[in-house]
Amino acid sequence: MSASVSLQVLEVTEKFSMMAESHSIATDYGKLDCITVVFMSFLSRNQPLTFWKAFFPVFNSVFDLHGATLMARENDRFLKQVTFHLLRLAVFRNENIRQRAVVGLQILVRVCFLLFKLYRLLYPLVSYLLM
């Protein structure tokens, strides 16, 4: 896939992500499966630096909108795949790509910690309400 096609697909993915959030259709992992497939496709191929510069802001945006769904316990396959590919990119010889991979890993860690704190705060409340 050429760099221009990759960037266009990335733009469409971001627009789909925003539309999914605004129309409340992203209620489970199955409805975000197409985003997962696109991300795995991007991460598993060599891409030019211009692509990586555009990719991580979109990656961050998708996690801001759909992080809870994508990182759910039932969907651990997504987290494992993304982490694997980001770690693979982190050992590239190109310093810029390595730095961008580290940014991607930081996004994952940040979302994990935010969701963990949220679950930890909400768990006692939900337990109390279910009694």
pLDDT given for residue 31 in this prediction: 61
Average pLDDT, the chain: 75
pLDDT given for residue 73 in this prediction: 66
Distance CA 16, CA 69 (A): 15
Bigger pLDDT: 54 vs 128 = 54
Kindly compute the dihedral angle of the four CA atoms of residues 112, 57, 89, 118, in this order, to the nearest 10 degrees: 0
Question: For residue 81, is pLDDT > 70?
Answer: yes
92 DSSP assignment: -
pLDDT given for residue 123 in this prediction: 62
pLDDT given for residue 26 in this prediction: 46
pTM of the model: 0.63
